[in-house]
Structure 1
């Protein structure tokens, strides 16, 4: 990892001493967590598990909302409590252990459960998992801001993403060899049990991070969290603009499932089977990790704008070319189009995610950073439900309408991201 000596000089002496060791531990812990995420993916592994267990299809549609919104919505409520904890790394450790326990419960259900009851149990465990993820999300940005200087934070995220990409590709290849296109519930149970162990290892690694501890804890958690959230969004103009921009960048996160449905309907064998989906996700992480990590440190707002632009352009090209008879879904050209579009959008989503994470860490200091992370994530939980609902409703009339809506969001996100103030070191 390339170090920024000028930025490190602004840190206290005791923090500068531990930057290399803390950086390695952050990379290792985040890589372990991201690798575990591949096995509890609400867009690939868990829907596959539901199908294998005979869970009613109506419950499958709840997986992504429970996983994503469940990890974002509680953050503004949890933040006043987290601020009372002087050593924030312990908050991450607690969140990782909660996730490990929840994934272990899902693994047990996969091994012995079936039908509607299994689906409800897994959804309940996934809700607990999301609560643990909320704690990790709040704490991780603050710990990174305390222990790693500007100019190196994006690289930390990039290296972690690269490592998880290697794990994902290995896992995907293993799934293809082990079960091909027909994995059993028992095989998935072992996969999930291994993921639970990864979160335990992440907790142990994070506990070894040396962070500066303030002399006093944060404010009294008895103050109302919702009024404080509304006040921050109303009065803090730079923060409000960031939240608005982030909501317009959902194009890269919400469009891949629709592109997958088109790819599957095209008969694109490269994406058929669970292993193929995991491999595609791993390739995006492997390629995007080292590339986008450094770009985020140079200009996180530019990275967000570029990612949204590429995703929107790709979607528009898909919408136009899919109407051309020579590339209809049953042709080889059509299959190649949808597979390539899926991979590119997934790749640039890696960049958008790194850009927004780096931006929010760089735009504030101390407890203010913690509040920014929590309030923006809680707001995004609501916005994600709204945008996901609109795109799902449009998909009733056709996937093309949903993709057109998301592409228009992305175009607006490009303009909004370019207007954000620069907070990176360049």
Structure 2
């Protein structure tokens, strides 16, 4: 993007005056503020679009289900993706924050994600069954590791290259572009007949290109060398403060609640597997509707959940758990009665579940920030992320249960976890008072 085009886009999106936008970033970044802003929006948008094309909850689970992969492998998609993006941060965060220029870390992470997505496309075109499942899981693990590097590096780069007054605008614009793209892709899948597999395969290849282009674009950032101190290891921090779980009952309850609510993240692949096992081709081909329901739930509910969390994060978590439990319970009943053969039932149930998932995401982050003091926040975050990462990895066992007893059994267990989480959340203190 040329400098004049960058300035036009910057002025349209920010409407900020020069007196505000340069007070908290280095001079080099200030001189390139419009171009840096445009680079962030472009690279982050490409990353979010690629994320939507490699969604393990729906896209990859549908791909493996349609290719005849066993439930044990399908059930590992979300644990590998979520834990793989979370646990490595405990080991890499200290090193990444010791780098003077962290744009290179983000660019490397994005490039590796692109290469992994391209590998998935090749596997999807050439493999089937369990072989495809193993290949996808291996590449997803690499992608998740690369994503964890991007996650650690991005906030630091954003703080050094984009002024505080417009950072939210940059990331929010990219999120909106990414969401719009995912909805368009979902609509394409919804109106497509028998070519959904080809679209998914091509989508994986496009995701690879998007990440690679975003990586190369990010290298253009004007980032000055910065301080390298403060690169402590979160894992060390978590181990040193593990005793906080015994001393702080509220922290224990929060982590217990968050662990139980992982059910809302782990459940979607089993809903997709359920649709593939009912023997109804129309339902099985309804990937576009499922993806549209998921994206629509995020767009429609995030703001409302955010407002509720600012009032009471504990009640937000309780309500999200209750909603998730009801949606999953109805899913089990619908499968038992054969209602899932109706084309709109599973998208509707997934829509309700993903609304609950958005409530979990916003409620847990708000509660942790408001619960912990300034001195406790880093400790609580490291400890919570360590434990949840282990819980997510252990969640792979649900895939084995699904293979042995069917996806309905797993979905029923997830419903019980959500109801238990709602009860646990109500025992938390009101931290917004």
Residues 1:66 and 1:390: Cα distance change in structure 2 (over 3 Å) = closer
- What residue number does 2:215 align with? 203
* Unaligned 5+ runs, structure 2: 1-11
Structure 1 residue 343: deviation in Å?
A: 1.2
Partner of 1:284: 297
**Distance of 1:353 and 1:199 partners within structure 2:** 25
Match of 2:52 in 1: 38
Structure 1 CA distance for aligned equivalents of residues 56 and 187 of structure 2 = 19
Matched, 1:273 2:286: yes
What corresponds to 1:410 in structure 2?
A: 418
What residue number does 1:350 align with? 358
Show the 5 A alignment for 1:176-325: 176-178=190-192, 180-184=193-197, 187-203=199-215, 215-219=227-231, 226-235=235-244, 237=248, 242-262=254-274, 265=278, 267=280, 269=282, 272-292=285-305, 302-318=315-331
Deviation at 1:43, TM superposition (A): 3.5
Match of 2:9 in 1: none
TM-score, scaled relative to structure 2: 0.72
In 1, the alpha carbon distance for the partners of 2:311 and 2:158 equals 17
* CA RMSD across the alignment: 4.7
Where does residue 81 of structure 1 map in the other structure?
95
Does residue 14 (structure 1) correspond to residue 24 (structure 2)? The answer is yes
| Distance in 2 separating the partners of 1:2 and 1:415 | 43
C-alpha spacing 1:262/1:353, structure 2 compared with 1 (3 Å)? same
SS of residue matched to 1:85: coil
Residues 303-344 of structure 1, C-alpha deviation per residue, up to 9 Å, x if partnerless? 434322321233345556777xxxx32488x76554422211
The 3 A distance-change label for structure 1 pair 53 and 317 is closer
TM-score in terms of structure 1 length: 0.73
Task: Tell me which residue corresponds to 2:118.
Answer: 104
| Within-5 A mapping of 1:143-162 | 160-162=174-176
1:152–1:81 Cα change, 3 Å: closer
Cα shift at 1:371: 6.9
**CA shift in 2, pair 1:335/1:279, >3 Å:** closer
For the residue of structure 2 that corresponds to 1:37, the secondary structure is helix
Whether contact under 8 Å (1:103, 1:129) holds in the other structure is yes
